[in-house]
Amino acid sequence: MKLVKFKKINKKLNFFQLKDIISIINSENRTSILSKLSKKNLTRFIQQVIKSNYLELFVVTKRRIIGYAILAKKPDYLLKSFKKFQLEFCFNLFLNFKFLTIFNIFISILNFDKILISDLNKKIISESLNLNLLGINKEYQSRAIGKKFLEYIFKYSIHKSKYVTCETDNIRSNSFYKKKLNFKSIGKKIRFLKNQDVLAKKL
């Protein structure tokens, strides 16, 4: 843990910082929609997150960036900031034959992806902080950095909420959230080819 620091990013990232985050997204968050975007669009999206009043970008540094997380005040705000680039992103995805990703974006915009979730839990999801993405560089995983990073984020986020929610699509991250941070499953979001488990934690 020596030299490992956590911080919130408030100003535009430089070339190397962006390169570090994009490399973590592409290696650790390979099933996410963001990892399917071109480098140029991913850069625009990250810079937009920093500018937004409703989204926050946190990083873990050890000289370079070795981890990152994106937190939204509510899930809707993430879709809204995505909407600005929606057409261009979809066109870019189309040219790269990422048809399933386009399909998943549309079912999410139309709220069709939440039909398996109870009304009460839908309300919790729509009104809570959402941890949209999280990744720690492979070399530094399993050293309790992820757990401490999230505790830092929940303490220092400027947005206050009763719950924080997140989505997982693999057993390892699911057990990280449940065993290390006390998240509980509250339903499934439809995604082709693999549904996501929606988790929530009381803050």
Token look-up 């990013």 returns 9
Binder of ligand COA out of 72, 78, 117, 134 (CB under 6 A): 134
Give the dihedral of Cα atoms 162, 178, 121, 84; nearest 10 deg: 80
- Burial of 36 from C-beta contacts in 10 A (0-12 / 13-18 / 19+): buried
Binder of ligand COA out of 136, 153, 186, 198 (CB under 6 A): 136
Shortest distance (Å) from residue 154 CB to ligand COA: 14
Choices 37-45, 85-93, 96-104, 175-183; region in contact with ligand COA by CB under 6 A: 175-183
Amino acid in position 54:
Y
Cis peptide before 116 (omega within 30 of 0): no
Taking CB under 6 A as the rule, does residue 180 contact ligand COA? Answer: yes
Phi, psi dihedrals of residue 164, rounded to the nearest 5°: -125, 140
| Binding flags for ligand COA, 90-129, as an x/- string (CB under 6 A) | ----------------------------------------
CA distance 187 to 200: 10
Taking CB under 6 A as the rule, does residue 70 contact ligand COA? Answer: no
Choices 10-18, 93-101, 111-119, 130-138; region in contact with ligand COA by CB under 6 A: 130-138
Binder of ligand COA out of 175, 184, 192, 203 (CB under 6 A): 175
Taking CB under 6 A as the rule, does residue 141 contact ligand COA? Answer: yes
Cβ atoms within 10 Å of 165's Cβ, excluding its own: 25
CA distance 87 to 94: 10
DSSP one-letter code for 81: H
Contact set with ligand COA (CB under 6 A): 28-29, 133-136, 141-147, 168, 172-173, 175-176, 179-180
